[in-house]
Every structure is written in C-alpha cells, then in structure tokens.
C-alpha cells in the first residue's frame, strides 16, 4: 500500500539536485524503473512511456545544472502528462482507441511546451477515463490502474493514471485536467493534493476538449507548494509560492445543501475532524444556506455543457467509430445530440445567473469548504455494472462539479488518518482567487492532515 504523504516534494528534490545529492538521471531512472516494474501499476497507469526521450532530457538537465543553468524549480524533475495533451509527433489518443488513426500532433500543447521550457522531464502519458468523461477512472481499453490505498479500488477520474503516477512515485507531479472534478477527485481518493485553477488562467489549446466552457488544467502533486509551482508553469506566470495565510480569523463556509447529502461515514468522520482542528486554530467555520446549489441537477438535466460541447466535437468520430468507444462513455456524449441551440443558450444564461447569486453570498467568506467527494474510492466490483457505475460516478463528481459550473478555483487536500481510506478536504475560492486559495491551503493542509 503506497503512502503518498511520505513522497518527496519538488522542493526537497530541487534542494537535493542543487546540493549534488542526486541527479536528474538518477531520479528519472528510478521513476522509469517503477513504471516498468511488472508488480506495479505502470502498465495500467501509462498509455505511453517515453524512456529514451526522458533519459536524454535528464542528462541534458544535469549538464545544464553543472554549467549553472537551472531553468526552474522543476528542472530535472520527472513529471507525467495526461493522455489528452498533444505531443509533437505523437497521436493523441485521449484514453480511447477511436483516435488511433488520427494524424500525429504537429506541435506540443502550450502546457506541455511550458513544462519542457521549465526543464521538467516528461516520462510519459498517463491513462485516463476515455475522453475524460467520468469521475471513476475506469478504462476498458488500457486497463484501470489500482488505487494506491487499496488496489481493488478505482483511482478516481478522469485523471486516473496521473494520480497513480504521483502516488506510486513514477512521477513527482502530474498534469491533469478538471472539467467536473477530474484533478480533485483522483487526488482526493488517492491521498494527494490536486489544484483546479480558474479555467481561463491556463490555455487548453492542443488538449482534446471535453467541455470548452468547463475544462481546466491543473496539477496533482505531493504538497500545496508543489501545486503552486506547477500551476505557475501551466499558467505561464513567474514561479512563486504564495506565503502561507495566517489561519486565525479566516472565515470558511460549509453549504448546508447539496454537497453534504449522502456522505459516506468515513468521509463524515474525516471532514468533521478536519473542521474541529481548524476551529481550534482560530478559523471561523459557519454552516450557510446555499439552496441555490439545489438548482444544479435541474439546470444540467439535459446533459449540460459536457454533453452538448462533447457531442459537437465527437459527432463525426462517434458516427464512424461508435463501436470502439467505452460503452459507459458513448451514451453520455450522445445525450448532447438531443440538446437544441435554444437549450444551450438557456444554459449559458442560467450559469451566469447562478454565478452571480452564489457569489453574492460566498464573497463574504475566505473560502467555501466541503468534502471533495461524498464517498471513498469505490471497489472495481462496485462499478462493474452500468447501474453501479452511474451511481458511484454521480457521487464522486457531485461536489467538485459545483466549482466548474461556478467558474471557481479549488484545491483538494488529504484529510484522512493513517489506516483510513483517503478522503479529500476541499477549499473553493472565488473566480481568479487562485493565489489566495493556495496561500490558505498552505496553512490548512498541515492542520487537516491527520497523519
């Protein structure tokens, strides 16, 4: 059983590299050995492994470092990218087999180019829910990587391989995408930190879209500080880790409605313990009426942005290759076929209206808090039937989708104790409050972590 909380962070490894205690070549060889270990999850966690390129990049990084050139704190550090990012010369598969006849990408996606420019060593492309359309992390084509806390459980999705790559030390940080929780869900159920930025801060060009209105790109990593470093790289901003915000006097709101229903008992225990610990440090936590959230299921009843925008992208491909799609994903995309332009325009209006009404209430607090997922990671058996899959998928996605629909930023922090299944504690900020959320998360993380 992997214990991600003891994994080395970017900061620790950057210090080791600077002091000559390790080399990028050594770190990369160790990461690749874990990917190749037949007893490990590497063959399910990665769709592609770029061994020769990674070792060449690591050697180049070591040569640069000897000459006094260190491109960023990520220089020489092994990272993974999700299988929906364009990489020059490679066919982008998006966790599917339906794109296997697509032309190779002409150029790296901007987020991938930015990782390379920061000196990161990209070890491979990670497995995912097909076309990023589920929170479970199950994949019928490339296998489902086992959860590091219990290999009989799913890793969460859609950035499933991303989470397992970091938890199992096959990468130090991972690029994930988050349309309805696909960074925060696997981070939560695998015991990692996952950050969803305000969508507009990070370019999504060169990344297979699920829903262009909701898609965002964020890091999965071993600490808040690591997420801040990688997020700055993705956003093309100067790398800086915001100073930890003082806890005393912070005001957090827990919505009474929607996000606190049907919680797993394990989640309740971990979340309540985390709230008590924060209160003891002077954080004011209030339960608030946010009945507005109860409107979300009706608002998205016809399939929402994900179905309509996914169908617009997939309509020709799914007509040609329907039999090659994951049979649990195809019907969700096809729901978009029945949405009219009027339905879509109405949805845009409802989203803007809900954002305004919710912000009028939540802007009075430093953050909104809730369990990242209502449940712990389901077992593979529990999601083996269509009904079981649908129910668990809804419960995994429910809380995180709030942040995407409201165009917020958010972070999931581990809040389980040793021996418990991983549970995530989520801080949700207002749109563009990313740095503030990271600053608060730096202080909150050690308090809620019950290790």
Sheet with 409-414: list strands edge to edge.
46-49, 121-126, 78-82, 173-178, 216-221, 193-196, 409-414, 424-429, 367-371, 251-255, 284-288
Last residue of a domain, one of 235, 260, 275: 235
- Catalytic status, residue 248: no
Q: What is the pTM of this model?
A: 0.98
Asked whether residue 398 is domain-assigned, the answer is: yes
Q: Find the mean pLDDT for residues 282-308.
A: 97
Rounded to whole angstroms, the maximal C-alpha distance in the chain is 61
- Catalytic status, residue 281: no
Asked whether residue 315 is domain-assigned, the answer is: yes
Q: What is the pLDDT of residues 50-100, one digit of tens each?
A: 999 999 999 999 999 999 999 999 999 999 999 999 999 999 999 999 999
284 class by beta-carbon count within 10 Å (0-12 exposed, 13-18 middle, 19+ buried): middle
Q: Are 301 and 350 in contact (CB under 8 A)?
A: no
Percent share of the chain, pLDDT over 90: 98
Asked whether residue 127 is domain-assigned, the answer is: yes
- Tell whether the model's pLDDT for residue 335 goes beyond 70: yes
- Catalytic status, residue 82: yes
Q: Find the mean pLDDT for residues 347-370.
A: 98
Percent share of the chain, pLDDT over 70: 99
Q: Are 408 and 431 in contact (CB under 8 A)?
A: yes
Q: Find the mean pLDDT for residues 180-206.
A: 98
Q: Which of 72, 158, 211, 449 is catalytic?
A: 158
- Residue 2 confidence class, pLDDT cut points 50, 70, 90: low
pLDDT value of position 61: 98
Residues 295 and 442 in one domain: yes
Q: How many Å apart are CA 295 and CA 292, to the nearest integer?
A: 6
Pairing of strands 367-371, 251-255: parallel
- Tell whether the model's pLDDT for residue 5 goes beyond 80: no
Q: How many Å apart are CA 66 and CA 388, to the nearest integer?
A: 54
Residues 313 and 229 in one domain: no
Q: Find the mean pLDDT for residues 330-339.
A: 97
Last residue of a domain, one of 235, 262, 281: 235
> Which pair of tokens denotes residue 9?
């962070």
At 48, which CATH number? 3.90.1300.10
Q: Which of 182, 211, 216, 223 is catalytic?
A: 182
pLDDT value of position 415: 98
Asked whether residue 347 is domain-assigned, the answer is: yes
Residues 164 and 281 in one domain: no
Query: Helix (H, G, I), strand (E, B), or coil: what is residue 123?
Result: strand
Q: Which residues in 246-301 belong to E strands, given as ranges?
A: 251-255, 284-288
Q: Which of 72, 80, 82, 392 is catalytic?
A: 82
Asked whether residue 240 is domain-assigned, the answer is: no
Query: Helix (H, G, I), strand (E, B), or coil: what is residue 284?
Result: strand
User: What's the gap between Cα 69 and its chain centre?
Assistant: 31
Last residue of a domain, one of 205, 235, 265: 235
pLDDT value of position 450: 73
Residues 293 and 207 in one domain: no
Domain that holds residue 19: 4-235
pLDDT value of position 451: 57
Residues 229 and 280 in one domain: no
Q: Find the mean pLDDT for residues 210-233.
A: 98
Residues 286 and 351 in one domain: yes
Q: How many Å apart are CA 343 and CA 124, to the nearest integer?
A: 40
User: How many residues in the chain?
Assistant: 451
The number of folded domains in the chain is 2
| φ, ψ of residue 150 in degrees (nearest 5) | -165, 110
């Amino acid at each position: 059983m992997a214990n991600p909380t003891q994994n080395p962070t970017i900061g620790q490894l950057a210090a080791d590299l600077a002091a000559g205690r390790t080399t990028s070549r050594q770190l990369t060889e160790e990461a690749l050995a874990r990917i190749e270990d037949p007893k490990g999850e590497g063959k399910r966690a990665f769709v592609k492994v770029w061994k020769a390129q990674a070792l060449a990049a690591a050697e180049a990084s070591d040569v640069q470092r000897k000459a006094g050139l260190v491109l960023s704190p990520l220089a020489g550090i092994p990272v993974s990218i999700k299988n929906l990012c364009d990489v020059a010369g490679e066919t982008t598969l998006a966790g599917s087999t339906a794109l296997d006849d697509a032309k190779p990408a002409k150029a790296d996606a901007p987020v991938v180019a930015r990782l390379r420019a920061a000196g990161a060593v990209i070890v491979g492309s990670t497995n995912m829910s097909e076309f990023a359309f589920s929170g479970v992390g199950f994949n019928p084509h490339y296998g489902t990587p086992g959860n590091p806390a219990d290999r009989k459980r799913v890793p969460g999705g859609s950035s499933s391989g991303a989470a397992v790559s970091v938890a199992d030390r096959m990468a130090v940080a991972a690029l994930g995408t988050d349309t309805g929780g696909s960074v925060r869900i696997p981070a939560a159920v695998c015991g990692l930190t996952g950050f969803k930025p305000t969508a507009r801060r990070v370019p999504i060009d060169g990344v297979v879209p699920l829903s262009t209105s909701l898609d965002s790109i964020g890091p999965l990593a071993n600490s808040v500080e690591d997420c801040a470093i990688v997020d700055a790289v993705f956003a093309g901003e100067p790398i800086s880790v915001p100073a930890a915000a003082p806890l005393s006097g912070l005001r957090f709101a827990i919505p009474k409605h929607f996000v606190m229903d049907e919680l797993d008992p394990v989640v309740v225990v971990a979340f309540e313990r985390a709230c008590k610990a924060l209160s003891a440090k002077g954080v004011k936590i209030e339960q608030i009426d946010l009945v507005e959230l109860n409107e979300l299921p009706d608002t998205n009843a016809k399939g929402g942005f994900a179905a309509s925008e996914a169908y617009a992208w997939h309509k020709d491909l799914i007509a040609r290759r329907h039999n090659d799609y994951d049979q649990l994903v195809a019907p969700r995309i096809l729901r978009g076929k029945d949405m009219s332009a009027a339905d879509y325009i109405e949805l845009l209006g409802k989203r803007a209206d809900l954002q305004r009404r919710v912000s009028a209430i939540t802007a009075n607090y430093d953050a909104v808090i809730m369990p990242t997922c209502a449940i712990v990671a389901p077992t593979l058996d529990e999601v083996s039937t269509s009904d079981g899959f649908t129910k668990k998928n809804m419960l995994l996605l429910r809380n995180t989708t709030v942040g995407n629909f409201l165009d917020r930023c958010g972070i999931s922090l581990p809040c389980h104790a040793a021996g418990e299944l991983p549970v995530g504690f989520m801080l949700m900020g207002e749109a563009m409050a990313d740095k503030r959320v990271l600053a608060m998360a730096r202080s909150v993380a050690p308090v809620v972590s019950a290790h």
